């Protein structure tokens, strides 16, 4: 693999609405991010990924974009973004934006023109399809529930396609002119100093344009999840993305990370590596295990360490010969990892440190999600009125429709809602946790008064300071190469409460061991070692044995020449 500028770096994801509000309107913004750049830099991260900040009516928190060259005034101006790019650069941080190219907002100029008449050239940029006798063209179901088809007002039996809210019409990637416009757009942003992109929902761009539908799935209402169609057509995706790469981010050396759900093992080699469509792809294997063949939150199991471990181990091994994956513990679409993957007694700072350790040394480009570095847990939502997220609201209705009581439906959201990741970041113990001087757009975490950045800055043993040590170790000298692209070798997996793996680079070798059981455990190492970092004081190495206390993790260097 050739060495690219982004290799060896650690990335940080910001959900701008919830990061820091600079002007008291209760919504985080670009000036808030600029203000907190010293904090971001202090983490040691060098790539900053921002969720969508483009002009948007807000049907799905900015994922419905009406103008891809304008900044949503809620977040600031283009000048603010230019300043953020420049100031971040001074600190060695590159900015990447969320490119949502599989659909636009229905308020986008192109969709408005497409709606305006059958002859409009923009009509073919989207999918307009006739139904028959009042029936939709097929039975596919949107990711947010309900049909993927919406009636075109004023026309009989004519529908447009949307995979998420009805305000997000799908774009027709088979139209060459449209693909040209997308390349131009990406190049326009690269010219402004953007270093790359997170590419949204890239598996959704494939379509069977005869719209045959699929056999009904587990939901039981005759519909079938659109995601199933993506899985069926997945082999078509690489060529569409290859072309975009060729005309835009490829020749410019930009960093791209794809949100690719339903990546199957046979096409992965076309997505990553030197010849792949993207620099890297997020690892959603654990997430997919939760969601697989289940029609909604009400049917999802809670996560476990085993699910997290097995998903990552699978993807680590699969990607190692091909390129780099992007491991995550959290993002804006998932609950907080400490609450989700850990057992009840471990959903605390100690659990957060241990989980952070086994995550941070996975192979690839790790992405830390805002608040993860504080060990934030899920927020307690006391009523459905406290929930903002469109998907969560739909899942609440879905649970009610499947016979759950209101209390049960709310309890389901308290495990699975995306809003757990979206509550404002707690900065200090002032009103609204220093996030805003106004009224925060979403409720604050119940522990924000004590669980916040300022409190953790003061405490050398905090999750925050521990995360800084994790990132620093990952980037230290020859370890950087070892941890980014060195070999990944899974350890024993017989115990569901253990996550143990080995990383081996040129001249460097380390074992990462997490003990998530309730007892002290002894682990056999592959050679004599010494501890580089551990999440609890109860950790020692004697010869080839590591003794590790409960809910603890350690990074052990295997000394050269001393391995078995």
- Residue 2 CA to residue 551 CA, distance in Å, equals 38
- CA neighbours within 13 Å on the CB side: how many for 224? 15
Exposure class string for 416-455: b at 16+ Cβ within 10 A, else e: bbbbbbbbbbbbbeeebbbbbeeebbbbbbeebeebbbeb
Among 14, 21, 103, 327, which residue sits at the site for Ca ion (rule: CB under 5 A)?
Answer: 21
Find the length of the chain.
564
- Shortest-Cβ-distance residue relative to ligand TEU: 63
Tell me the pairing of strands 255-258 and 196-199. Answer: parallel
288 is catalytic: no
Our CB check for Ca ion shows the closer of 20 and 108 to be 20
Residue 23 touches Ca ion, criterion: CB under 5 A: yes
Query: Do 413 and 395 touch, CB atoms closer than 8 A?
Result: yes
Tell me the pairing of strands 47-50 and 11-14. Answer: parallel
Our CB check for Ca ion shows the closer of 29 and 80 to be 29
Identify what 287 binds: ligand TEU, Ca ion, none; CB under 5 to 8 Å per kind. Answer: ligand TEU
Among 4, 25, 124, 505, which residue sits at the site for Ca ion (rule: CB under 5 A)?
Answer: 25
Identify what 488 binds: ligand TEU, Ca ion, none; CB under 5 to 8 Å per kind. Answer: none
Our CB check for ligand TEU shows the closer of 62 and 238 to be 62
**Annotated catalytic residue, options 21, 29, 150, 259:** 259
Query: Do 454 and 464 touch, CB atoms closer than 8 A?
Result: no
Our CB check for ligand TEU shows the closer of 7 and 230 to be 230
Cβ of residue 165: shortest distance to ligand TEU, in angstroms? 7
Query: Rounded to the nearest 5 degrees, what angle is found at the Cα of 302, between the Cα atoms of 426 and 341?
Result: 55
Closest C-alpha among 350, 407, 341 to residue 378: 341
**Annotated catalytic residue, options 60, 200, 283, 528:** 200
Residue 333 touches ligand TEU, criterion: CB under 6 A: yes
Backbone angles phi, psi at 192, to 5 degrees: -80, -5
Among 29, 60, 395, 511, which residue sits at the site for ligand TEU (rule: CB under 6 A)?
Answer: 60
User: Radius of gyration of the chain from Cα atoms?
Assistant: 23
Our CB check for ligand TEU shows the closer of 22 and 289 to be 289
Cβ of residue 52: shortest distance to Ca ion, in angstroms? 16
Our CB check for ligand TEU shows the closer of 49 and 501 to be 49
Written in H, E and C, the secondary structure of 436-505 is CCCCCCCCCCCCCCCCCHHHHHHCCCCHHHHHHHHHHHHHCCCHHHHHHHCEEEECCCCCCCEEEEEEEE
Q: Which two tokens stand for residue 507?
A: 């001249």
Among 53, 201, 258, 413, which residue sits at the site for ligand TEU (rule: CB under 6 A)?
Answer: 201
Identify what 201 binds: ligand TEU, Ca ion, none; CB under 5 to 8 Å per kind. Answer: ligand TEU
Closest C-alpha among 514, 519, 517 to residue 501: 514
Residue 164 touches ligand TEU, criterion: CB under 6 A: yes
**In sequence order, what DSSP letters do the residues of 65-104 get, joined into one string?**
-SEEEEE-TTT--HHHHHHHHHHHHHTT-EEEEEE--SB-
21 is catalytic: no
Backbone angles phi, psi at 111, to 5 degrees: -70, -40
Identify what 164 binds: ligand TEU, Ca ion, none; CB under 5 to 8 Å per kind. Answer: ligand TEU
- Report the site for Ca ion in 29-48 (rule: CB under 5 A): 29
Cβ of residue 168: shortest distance to ligand TEU, in angstroms? 6
Cβ of residue 189: shortest distance to ligand TEU, in angstroms? 19
- Residue 76 CA to residue 59 CA, distance in Å, equals 19
Q: What angle, rounded to 10 degrees, do the helices at 237-247 and 176-191 form?
A: 50
Among 10, 11, 27, 413, which residue sits at the site for Ca ion (rule: CB under 5 A)?
Answer: 27
Our CB check for ligand TEU shows the closer of 168 and 316 to be 168
Identify what 395 binds: Ca ion, ligand TEU, none; CB under 5 to 8 Å per kind. Answer: none
Our CB check for ligand TEU shows the closer of 60 and 243 to be 60
- Report the site for ligand TEU in 240-259 (rule: CB under 6 A): 259
Among 287, 306, 420, 508, which residue sits at the site for ligand TEU (rule: CB under 6 A)?
Answer: 287
Closest C-alpha among 382, 371, 366, 467 to residue 422: 371
Residue 433 per-residue DSSP state: G
Among 150, 200, 373, 511, which residue sits at the site for ligand TEU (rule: CB under 6 A)?
Answer: 200
Closest C-alpha among 220, 241, 237, 217 to residue 228: 217
Cβ of residue 546: shortest distance to ligand TEU, in angstroms? 35
Identify what 260 binds: ligand TEU, Ca ion, none; CB under 5 to 8 Å per kind. Answer: none
- Report the site for ligand TEU in 256-275 (rule: CB under 6 A): 259, 261
Tell me the pairing of strands 280-282 and 255-258. Answer: parallel
Our CB check for ligand TEU shows the closer of 164 and 501 to be 164
Rule CB under 6 A: which residues touch ligand TEU?
60, 63, 143, 164, 168, 200-201, 259, 261, 287, 291, 332-333
List the catalytic residues. Answer: 200, 259
Rule CB under 5 A: which residues touch Ca ion?
21, 23, 25, 27, 29
């Amino acid at each position: 693999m050739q060495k690219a500028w982004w290799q060896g770096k650690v990335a940080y994801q910001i959900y701008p609405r919830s990061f820091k509000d600079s002007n008291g309107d209760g919504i985080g913004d670009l000036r808030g991010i600029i203000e907190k750049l010293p904090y971001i830099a202090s983490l040691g991260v060098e790539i900053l990924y921002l969720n969508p900040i483009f002009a948007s009516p807000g049907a799905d928190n900015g994922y419905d974009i009406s103008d891809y060259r304008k900044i949503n005034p809620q977040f600031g101006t283009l000048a603010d973004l230019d300043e953020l790019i420049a100031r971040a650069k001074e600190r060695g941080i590159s900015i990447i934006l969320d490119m949502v190219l599989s659909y636009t907002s229905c308020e986008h100029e192109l969709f408005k023109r497409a709606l305006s008449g059958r002859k409009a050239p923009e009509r073919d940029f989207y999918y307009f399809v006739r139904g028959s006798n009042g029936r939709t063209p097929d039975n596919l179901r949107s990711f947010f529930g309900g049909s993927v088809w919406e009636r075109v007002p004023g026309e009989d039996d004519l529908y447009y396609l949307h995979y998420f809210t009805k305000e997000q019409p799908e774009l027709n990637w088979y139209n060459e002119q449209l693909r040209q416009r997308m390349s131009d757009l990406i190049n326009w942003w690269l010219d402004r100093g953007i270093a790359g992109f997170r590419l949204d929902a890239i598996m959704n761009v494939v379509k069977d344009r005869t719209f045959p539908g699929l056999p009904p799935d587990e939901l039981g209402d005759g519909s079938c999840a659109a995601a199933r169609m993506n899985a069926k057509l997945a082999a078509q995706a690489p060529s569409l993305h290859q072309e975009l790469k060729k005309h835009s981010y490829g020749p410019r050396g930009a960093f791209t990370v794809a949100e690719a759900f339903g990546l199957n093992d046979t096409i992965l080699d076309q997505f990553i590596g030197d010849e792949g469509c993207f620099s890297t792809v997020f690892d959603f294997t654990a997430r997919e295990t939760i969601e697989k063949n289940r029609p909604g939150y009400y049917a999802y199991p809670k996560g476990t360490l085993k699910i997290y471990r097995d998903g990552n181990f699978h993807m680590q091994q699969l990607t190692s010969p091909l390129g780099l994956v992007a491991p995550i513990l959290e993002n804006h679409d998932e609950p907080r990892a400490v609450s989700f993957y850990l057992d009840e007694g471990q959903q605390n700072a100690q659990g957060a440190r241990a989980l952070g350790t086994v995550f941070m040394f996975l192979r690839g480009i790790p992405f830390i999600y805002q608040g993860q570095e504080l060990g934030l847990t899920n927020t307690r939502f006391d009523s459905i009125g406290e929930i903002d997220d469109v998907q969560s609201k739909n899942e609440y209705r879905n649970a009610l429709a499947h016979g759950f009581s209101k209390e049960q439906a709310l309890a389901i959201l308290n495990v699975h809602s995306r809003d757990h990741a979206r509550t404002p970041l707690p900065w200090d113990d002032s009103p609204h946790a220093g996030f805003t001087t106004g009224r925060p757009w979403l409720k604050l975490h119940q522990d924000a008064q004590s669980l916040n950045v300022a409190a953790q800055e003061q405490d050398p043993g905090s999750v925050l300071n521990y995360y800084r040590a994790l990132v620093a170790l990952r980037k230290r000298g020859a370890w950087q190469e070892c941890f980014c692209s060195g070999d990944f070798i899974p350890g024993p997996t017989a115990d569901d409460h253990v996550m143990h793996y080995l990383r081996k680079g040129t001249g460097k070798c380390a074992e990462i061991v997490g003990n998530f059981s309730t007892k002290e455990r002894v682990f056999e190492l592959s050679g004599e070692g010494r501890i580089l970092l551990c999440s609890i004081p109860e950790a020692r190495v004697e010869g080839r044995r590591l003794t590790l206390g409960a809910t603890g993790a350690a990074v052990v260097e295997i000394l050269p020449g001393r391995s078995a």
